[in-house]
């Protein structure tokens, strides 16, 4: 029996989707690292927005516009407080982590020259590789890969040796999406700053599990997607340190981001609006705020300790299956288990699990270099959230056993 302060059965009542059946079986949703499910508190916020105060923000003098603006800006402050950023205008609303990373990569075009170096970890999601490759193509900068070990851990000593006066940027995820490894970002940031390199941390996979303190981390850029922490898809944030964000040129041109426009010259708005061209995902931003309220109402400490127990239980149970191998075996992990069963393609197991109503992710998890490192075509990834139960872990284990029997 798992001991927790969280009342999981009551929490599950908050998530209407968890009651549905898939292929005739009760849904066992273990693809939380891809997207988390949405509690009714967030769904109600979305319904409330469109039912009561849907309006464009920042411009209208009418009441609805004022209400929507207040709610949107209030969400920005909620996010600021949640991550303890110094200023609300350091929070830029984006369409998600990918957009946030591209914003920074685009902005750095004018800062880099031939021979400058960008260091990237070996366990990145494609979204934290490709924008930097594109930046390198534009500027002649060089992308260098910080290695990892067989446990899927970031090699801090190798990294320290790679840093030099040529290093202009270091980019790394806080938590690996494919392996679940929690990276030592405090050290990564501090070491980069010794050579005056900026640091971008992709926090997409960390946000649902770890509460961060931006000022304590002293990170330059940090990204979050709302849909990974019980919010809606299509919205996220870029935290950017004020000194960087004032220097960084605008990403997209349009309405909202200007101070004055003539055909001869346009001056840009102040932060954060300089980076928020066009009508944003207003409802999404407000719902993101509601999601953060929801997460905090449960408490990150309680979530982390419950998920840790769930991870330990699932790891032990899965390892009882003969031929099952787990990829990503660091002691510092979130509740993600990437695995394969000897002699069986992950796709085959994923297909059978789906038939049993169990949702997992199979494939390369948009992290092909990680799969190449382990010399595998992909893995099955089960990622657990605070609303998952020990019974669901048992279902997964029984499902894998069944698949093994059918496919072996």
Q: Which active-site residues does the annotation give?
A: 366
- 9 vs 24 by CB, closer to other proteins: 24
- 38 vs 379 by CB, closer to other proteins: 379
The nearest distance, CB 407 to other proteins, in angstroms, is 5
Per CB under 8 A, residues contacting other proteins are: 23, 344-348, 351-352, 355, 362-363, 377-378, 406-407
| Contacting residues for 205 by C-beta, under 8 A, at least 6 apart | 33, 173, 174, 175, 176, 177, 180, 228, 334, 336
Residue 358, strand partner residues: 28
- 344 vs 367 by CB, closer to other proteins: 344
Q: How far is CA 86 from CA 22, 36, 232, in A?
A: 45, 28, 25
Q: How far is CA 403 from CA 316, 343, 346, 350, 352, in A?
A: 19, 12, 10, 9, 6
The Cβ of residue 215 has, within 10 Å, a number of other Cβ atoms equal to: 12
The nearest distance, CB 74 to other proteins, in angstroms, is 36
Cα–Cα distance for residue pair 401/349, rounded to 1 Å: 10
- 181 vs 362 by CB, closer to other proteins: 362
The nearest distance, CB 9 to other proteins, in angstroms, is 30
CA angle 265, 268, 271 (to 5 degrees): 175
Peptide bond preceding 79 in cis form (omega within 30 of 0): no
- 86 vs 406 by CB, closer to other proteins: 406
Note the helical H segments in 40-182.
Answer: 40-48, 63-83, 97-107, 130-139, 156-162
The nearest distance, CB 383 to other proteins, in angstroms, is 18
SS3 call for 350: helix
- 170 vs 371 by CB, closer to other proteins: 371
The nearest distance, CB 244 to other proteins, in angstroms, is 38
The nearest distance, CB 133 to other proteins, in angstroms, is 21
The nearest distance, CB 51 to other proteins, in angstroms, is 31
Contact 256, 60 (CB under 8 A): no
Ramachandran region, residue 23 (left: φ > 0; alpha: ψ -120 to 50; beta: rest): left
Cα–Cα distance for residue pair 2/342, rounded to 1 Å: 30
Contact 278, 252 (CB under 8 A): yes
- 211 vs 325 by CB, closer to other proteins: 325
Contact 134, 120 (CB under 8 A): no
The nearest distance, CB 324 to other proteins, in angstroms, is 17
Contact 275, 245 (CB under 8 A): yes
Cα torsion 389, 391, 392, 397: sign: positive
Element (H, E) at 353: helix 346-355
CA proximity to 115, closest of 161, 167, 163: 167
SS3 call for 25: strand
- 71 vs 371 by CB, closer to other proteins: 371
């Amino acid at each position: 029996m798992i001991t927790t302060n969280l009342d999981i059965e009551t929490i599950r009542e908050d998530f209407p989707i968890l009651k549905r059946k898939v292929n005739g079986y009760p849904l066992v949703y273990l693809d939380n690292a891809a997207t988390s499910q949405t509690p009714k508190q967030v769904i109600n916020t979305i319904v409330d927005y469109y039912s009561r105060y849907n309006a464009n923000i920042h411009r209208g003098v009418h009441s609805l516009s004022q209400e929507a603006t207040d709610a949107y800006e209030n969400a920005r402050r909620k996010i600021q407080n949640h991550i303890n950023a110094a200023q609300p205008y350091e929070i830029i609303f984006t369409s998600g982590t990918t957009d946030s990373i591209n914003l920074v990569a685009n902005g750095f075009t004018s800062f880099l020259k031939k021979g400058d170096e960008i260091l990237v970890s070996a366990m990145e999601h494609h979204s934290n590789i490709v924008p930097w490759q594109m930046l390198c193509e534009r500027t002649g900068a060089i992308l260098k890969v910080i290695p990892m070990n067989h446990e899927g851990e970031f090699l801090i000593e190798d990294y320290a040796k790679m840093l030099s006066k040529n290093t202009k940027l270091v980019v790394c995820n806080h938590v690996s999406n494919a392996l679940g490894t929690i990276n030592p970002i405090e050290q990564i940031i501090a070491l980069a700053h010794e050579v005056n390199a900026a640091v971008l941390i992709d926090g997409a996979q960390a946000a649902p599990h770890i509460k961060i303190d931006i000022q304590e981390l002293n990170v330059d850029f940090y990204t979050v997607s709302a849909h990974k922490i019980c919010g809606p898809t299509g919205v996220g944030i870029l935290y950017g340190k004020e000194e960087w964000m004032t220097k960084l040129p605008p990403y997209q041109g349009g309405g909202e981001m200007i101070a004055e426009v003539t055909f001869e010259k346009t001056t840009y708005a102040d932060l954060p609006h300089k980076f928020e061209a066009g009508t944003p995902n207003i409802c999404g931003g407000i719902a993101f705020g509601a999601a953060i309220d929801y997460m905090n109402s449960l408490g990150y400490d309680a979530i982390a300790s419950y998920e840790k127990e769930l991870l330990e239980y699932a790891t032990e149970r899965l390892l009882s299956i003969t031929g099952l191998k787990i990829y990503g075996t660091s002691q510092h992990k979130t509740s993600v288990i990437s695995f394969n069963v000897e002699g069986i393609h992950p796709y085959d197991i994923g297909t059978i699990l789906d038939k049993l109503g169990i949702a997992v992710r199979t494939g390369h998890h948009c992290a092909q270099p990680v799969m190449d490192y382990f010399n595998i075509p992909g893995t099955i990834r089960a990622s657990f959230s605070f609303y998952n139960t020990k019974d669901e872990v048992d279902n997964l284990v029984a499902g894998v056993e069944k698949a093994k029997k059918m496919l072996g």
